[in-house]
Copies of this chain bind each other. A is one copy, B any other.
């Protein structure tokens, strides 16, 4: 009964921008979203259903982020400053995918 099982969520999307600041201003100007974090190399915007990261591609690969209780089966998880742990894999087409172990949010959109 697949329909009765809750579907997994996409935790975040990360898209590339050489100039993070101008990309943040563009998205904020067009859409209602909150800026959770911003520095010169990346920013995190919160939308109603998912978070959008804007990343300098040299430092952070564009990717999709998923939470999975089986994250550890993909290999050693790397801890991040925010306390989350994850591993990067690639899908068959070569797109980068971050798989995070489940984490408790200090608040919606907290990372």
Residues of A in contact with B (beta carbons under 8 Å apart): 2-3, 5-10, 13, 15-19, 22-23, 26-27, 30-34, 46-50, 52, 54, 64, 66, 68, 91-93, 95, 99
Contact = CB atoms under 8 A, between A and B. Distances in A.
Nearest to A90: B26
Copies per assembly? 2
Given A23-B92, A30-B68, 4 more contacts: A3-B34, A7-B33, A17-B92, A49-B49
Contact of A22 (B5, B13, B26, B92): B92
A26 B66 CA distance: 13
Contacts of A54: 93
A50 to B, nearest CB: 5
A81 B45 CA distance: 31
Contact of A13 (B23, B48, B64): B64
A96 to B, nearest CB: 10
A31 B65 CA distance: 12
A27 to B, nearest CB: 7
